[in-house]
């Protein structure tokens, strides 16, 4: 039911209830009964649905039993107010969840997109589902970019807030990658689609949002199991109090009333409503900050992490590589670059792209191309055997490799098993990576794991004041280090590349980069930083900590007040109004407590 329809129901039922106090006695009970029927329809409907599923004992069942009992002993006002306040609690919870969902969906402005496809010079407006990878489309100023793609013509400023949570416009130009969800601001751009409507960044985020709603945290799972035991125990205890003591004392009204007070007090509404709501509000606030957390289970686990392990390239550094040195042996720099760029033309690695971009010569045709993960390229050019890669690759082929003391990624080249020289490719540290040192007090250790040579990793680590680092690692080596640290405590791994996807599956919590991260790493990871900003790690930790604190506060608040009122109910010291406060009143307080998670600024 839509929220405004529910609100109308609540208002109508309240007006009918107030009429109870001013109408003649022969009419007022009828009006109150109608008010009760209106406000309780959803509760009865939900209880009936659960009954068909053989899930009898839930909060709806408790509400029905308590209010029917109140009618039997002629506590009409209490019967209505118990149900009315329960429904207000449900309404506020639904409102908070809707607001949280809206905060996520509004960022993406999700709707059926139309795409202006180019066929030669002719423009054709098509549904987004009709666009294939490789199609060219244009995006005019003010329009949302519908699909991920590479700009092939034009430059403009784009608003990335939909994905990153940041309002700062970003300049894009030819060869830059733009993502679905960005808003084009200043000029027309032509874009070559690199995704379809089902594989775009927006589509992936929608898929992740569906997973968010399906996933349950350990706390929620425990709560579900707890309620399955707790609810029938409470019902039978209330029946025992009402029946046994009524028969013993012959004071039926008093002990049935106390049993009803016991029943209403025992309703676990505050926990059932506020705990899932807390996780959804935490996830909603994270999304507003450009952080996509895939589920409440992941949000819980973040609080248990004590080791932060980070990939270097594309994670700590920008991944914008450029050639800084070319050192040939027995050939010109241009010739060495041409061989290396030609060999790398089949690779999508960022270092390969840097070499190809730096080369000005025409590429040579290659055959027998083979990319070896973590090592480099083997291929044949002009009937010559070519190796382009790291030191390990050439040493495996028994080729003597020069010792190079350079800061950067060293790419060695051999031609016909003869060493031909090396190329140095360097990267820049992200400005946001400087803030990693602020996380030192939150982890036992911060570690860099990189496939780059140790000297480069050491250089980056020293600039970030990180003491533990490892270089020259293959994906399997990274996995082994994650497992090693897991022997002591839980591990968070942050990466961006295809090879990081395997490591992410092993880590307790995995984080990927949303803009430059590979599809494999984004789909495998538990958390996606849509702005590629490592400062968001601190925000993620703070949101997880706040969410956990709110959950614990609500559990302690709810159970302690209920315990006090339950004891008082048995002793005849509490009324049904106190029971209503112990149930619905505490639920209100719990909801207000967790809604703060949705609006808090980080």
* Sequence-ordered strand ranges (E) for 163-208: 170-172, 177-178, 183-184, 189-193
Per the confidence metrics, is the pTM higher than 0.85? Answer: no
Tell me which long-range contacts 454-461 makes (C-beta under 8 A, separation of at least 24). Answer: 455/405, 455/406, 455/407, 456/312, 456/407, 456/408, 456/409, 457/312, 459/407, 460/312, 460/316, 460/317, 460/429
Alpha carbons 59 and 511: distance in angstroms, whole number: 37
Is residue 283 scored above 90 in pLDDT?
Answer: no
Ordered DSSP codes for 276-295: HHHHHHHHHHHHHTTEEE--
Is residue 378 scored above 90 in pLDDT?
Answer: yes
Domain parsing of the chain, residue ranges? 3-105+210-281+544-599, 114-196, 322-426
Q: Which helix (H) or strand (E) holds 270?
A: helix 269-288
Residue range 322-426, CATH number: 3.40.1110.10
pLDDT single digits (tens) 499-521: 677 888 899 999 988 766 666 66
Torsion from C-alpha of 130, 131, 136, 141, nearest 10 degrees: 90
Residue range 114-196, CATH number: 2.70.150.10
Q: What share of the chain has pLDDT > 70, as a percent?
A: 89
Is residue 282 scored above 60 in pLDDT?
Answer: yes
Instruction: Give the residue, 210 or 322, on which the prediction is more confident.
Output: 322
Contacts of 421 (CB under 8 A, 6+ apart): 326, 327, 328, 329, 331, 336, 412, 413
Amino acid 414: pLDDT? 96
pLDDT single digits (tens) 207-218: 665 555 555 556
Q: What share of the chain is helix, strand, coil (3-state, %, to 5)?
A: 55, 20, 30
Alpha carbons 278 and 511: distance in angstroms, whole number: 22
Torsion from C-alpha of 313, 319, 324, 330, nearest 10 degrees: 70
Is residue 110 scored above 50 in pLDDT?
Answer: no
Amino acid 265: pLDDT? 78
Confidence of residue 588 (pLDDT cuts 50, 70, 90): confident
User: At which residue do the structure tokens 């956990």 appear?
Assistant: 548
Q: Tell me the angle at which helices 218-249 and 59-72 cross, rounded to the nearest 10 degrees.
A: 20
Amino acid 315: pLDDT? 87
User: At which residue do the structure tokens 């029938």 appear?
Assistant: 232
Strand partners, 510: 493
Instruction: Give the residue, 203 or 490, on which the prediction is more confident.
Output: 490
Residue 493 has which token pair? 């791994």
Highest-scoring range by mean pLDDT, 119-133, 157-171, 262-276, 493-507: 119-133
Confidence of residue 164 (pLDDT cuts 50, 70, 90): low
pLDDT single digits (tens) 407-421: 778 899 999 999 999
What is the mean pLDDT of the segment spanning 263-282? 78
Is residue 349 scored above 60 in pLDDT?
Answer: yes
Tell me which long-range contacts 374-378 makes (C-beta under 8 A, separation of at least 24). Answer: 374/451, 374/473, 374/474, 374/475, 374/499, 375/474, 376/411, 377/343, 377/344, 377/346, 377/347, 377/352
**Residue 160, Cβ neighbours under 10 Å: how many?**
23
pLDDT single digits (tens) 44-102: 998 888 888 877 766 777 778 778 877 877 778 878 887 887 788 778 767 766 665 66
Is residue 195 scored above 80 in pLDDT?
Answer: yes
User: At which residue do the structure tokens 């209920």 appear?
Assistant: 562
Amino acid 513: pLDDT? 84
Amino acid 332: pLDDT? 94
**Neighbour-count burial for 20-39, b at 16+ CB within 10 Å, e otherwise:** beeeeeeebeebbbebbebb
Rg (CA), the chain: 32
Q: What share of the chain has pLDDT > 90, as a percent?
A: 27
CA 232 to chain centre: 36
pLDDT single digits (tens) 418-436: 999 999 988 888 888 888 8
Residue 229 has which token pair? 């035991």
CA distances from 245 to 271, 343, 450, 567 (A): 30, 89, 72, 16
Amino acid 532: pLDDT? 81
Active site residues: 311
* CB-CB contact of 184 with 134 (8 Å): no
Amino acid 281: pLDDT? 84
CA 216 to chain centre: 13
């Amino acid at each position: 039911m839509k929220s405004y329809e529910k609100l109308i129901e609540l208002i109508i039922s309240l007006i009918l209830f107030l009429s109870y106090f001013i109408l003649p006695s022969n009419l007022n009970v009828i009006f109150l009964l109608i008010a009760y029927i209106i406000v309780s329809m959803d509760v009865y409907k939900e209880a009936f649905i659960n009954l068909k599923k053989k899930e009898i004992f839930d909060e709806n069942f408790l509400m029905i039993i308590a209010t029917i009992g109140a009618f039997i002993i002629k506590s009409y006002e209490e019967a209505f107010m118990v149900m009315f306040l329960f429904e207000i609690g449900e309404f506020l919870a639904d409102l908070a969840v809707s607001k949280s969902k809206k905060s996520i969906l509004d960022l993406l402005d999700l709707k059926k997109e139309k795409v202006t496809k180019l066929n030669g010079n002719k423009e054709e407006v098509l549904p987004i589902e009709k666009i294939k990878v490789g199609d060219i489309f244009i995006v005019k100023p003010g329009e949302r970019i519908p699909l991920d793609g590479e700009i092939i013509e034009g430059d403009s400023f784009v608003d990335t807030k939909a994905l990153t949570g940041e309002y700062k416009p970003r300049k894009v130009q030819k060869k830059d990658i733009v993502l679905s969800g960005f808003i084009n601001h200043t000029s027309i751009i032509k874009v070559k689609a690199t995704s379809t409507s089902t594989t775009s960044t927006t589509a992936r985020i929608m898929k992740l949002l569906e997973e968010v709603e399906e996933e349950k945290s350990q706390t929620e799972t425990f709560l579900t199991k707890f309620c399955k035991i707790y609810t029938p125990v409470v019902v039978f205890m209330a029946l025992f109090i009402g029946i046994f003591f009524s028969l013993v004392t012959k004071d039926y009204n008093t002990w049935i009333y106390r049993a009803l007070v016991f029943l209403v007090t025992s309703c676990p509404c505050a926990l059932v409503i506020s705990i899932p709501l807390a996780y959804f509000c935490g996830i909603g606030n994270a999304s507003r900050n450009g952080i996509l957390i895939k589920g409440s289970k992941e949000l819980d686990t973040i609080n248990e992490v004590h080791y932060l392990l980070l990939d270097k390239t594309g994670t700590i550094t920008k991944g914008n590589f450029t050639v800084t040195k070319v050192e040939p042996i027995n050939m010109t720099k241009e010739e060495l670059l041409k061989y290396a760029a030609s060999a790398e033309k089949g690779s999508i690695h960022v270092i390969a792209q840097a070499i190809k971009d730096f080369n000005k010569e025409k590429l040579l045709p290659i055959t027998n191309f083979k990319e070896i993960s973590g090592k480099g390229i083997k291929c044949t050019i002009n009937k010559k055997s070519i190796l382009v890669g790291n030191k390990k690759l050439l040493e495996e082929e028994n080729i003597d490799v020069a010792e190079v003391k350079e800061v950067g990624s060293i790419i060695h080249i051999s031609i016909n098993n003869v060493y031909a020289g090396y190329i140095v490719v360097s990267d820049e540290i992200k400005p946001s990576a400087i803030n990693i040192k602020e996380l030192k007090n939150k982890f036992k250790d911060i570690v860099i794991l990189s496939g780059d040579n140790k000297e480069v990793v050491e250089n980056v680590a020293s600039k970030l004041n990180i003491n533990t680092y490892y270089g020259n690692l293959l994906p399997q080596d990274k996995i082994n280090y994650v497992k090693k640290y897991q022997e002591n405590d839980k591990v968070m791994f942050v990466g961006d590349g295809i090879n990081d996807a395997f490591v992410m599956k092993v880590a307790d919590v995995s984080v990927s980069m949303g803009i430059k991260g590979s599809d494999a790493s984004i789909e495998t990871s538990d958390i996606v930083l849509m702005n590629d900003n490592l400062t968001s790690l601190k925000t993620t930790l703070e949101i997880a900590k706040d969410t956990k604190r709110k959950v614990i506060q609500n559990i302690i608040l709810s159970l302690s007040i209920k315990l006090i009122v339950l004891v008082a109910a048995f002793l005849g010291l509490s009324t049904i109004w106190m029971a209503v406060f112990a149930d619905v009143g505490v639920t209100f307080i719990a909801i207000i407590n967790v809604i703060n998670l949705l609006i808090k600024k980080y």
